Amino acid sequence: EAGVAQSPRYKIIEKRQSVAFWCNPISGHATLYWYQQILGQGPKLLIQFQNNGVVDDSQLPKDRFSAERLKGVDSTLKIQPAKLEDSAVYLCASSQSSGGGNEQFFGPGTRLTVL
C-alpha cells in the first residue's frame, strides 16, 4: 500500500512570495489533514477535510493560507504572501475516517524556509 505522498520535499522562498504544497493521500482515505510543525514543536492542525468538505479550519490563518481538496482526493495548501514565521515543516496526513482511534498516516512533509 502506497503511503501519503507530498511534494516538494524542500522549498526556499523569500518573504512576500507565494508557495504551494501538494498532497496525495492513501487511496480510499476520506479524511485529509494539513499540519504545521515549527522547529522544536509538535505538529499543529491547520485544516481537516472530510472528502472535499472542510471539517475544521479554526487554526488556519485565512488571510494568507488557503487549502482545497478537489474531488475529495489530492489536496493543495497555499501560502500567499509568505512571512518569516511560516518557516516550518508542513505535514499532510490521511485516515479512513475522522473518528477517534482512527490512525492518521503522515507523509514525509515539505520543509519550507522563508528568507
Partner 1 sequence: GEDVEQSLFLSVREGDSSVINCTYTDSSSTYLYWYKQEPGAGLQLLTYIFSNMDMKQDQRLTVLLNKKDKHLSLRIADTQTGDSAIYFCAESTDSSYKLIFGSGTRLLVRP
Instruction: Decide: is 77 part of the binding site for partner 1 (CB under 8 A).
Output: no
Q: How far is it, in rounded angstroms, from Cα 25 to Cα 46?
A: 16
SS (H, E, C) 28-90: CCCEEEEEEECCCCCCEEEEEEECCEEEECCCCCCCCEEEECHHHCCEEEEECCCCHHHCEEE
Query: For partner 1, which residue of 69, 77, 107, 114 counts as binding (CB under 8 A)?
Result: 107
Instruction: Decide: is 56 part of the binding site for partner 1 (CB under 8 A).
Output: yes
Q: Judged by CB under 8 A, how many residues of this single chain contact partner 1?
A: 24
Cell, residue 76:
493543495
Q: How far is it, in rounded angstroms, from Cα 13 to Cα 20?
A: 11
In the complex, the smallest distance separating the C-beta of residue 100 from partner 1, rounded to whole angstroms, is 5
Query: For partner 1, which residue of 17, 66, 98, 113 counts as binding (CB under 8 A)?
Result: 98
Query: For partner 1, which residue of 32, 60, 75, 109 counts as binding (CB under 8 A)?
Result: 109
Cell, residue 79:
501560502
Of the listed pieces 16-24, 61-69, 73-81, 100-108, which binds partner 1 according to CB under 8 A?
100-108
The contact set with partner 1 (CB under 8 A) reads 4, 33, 40-45, 48, 56, 91, 93, 98-109
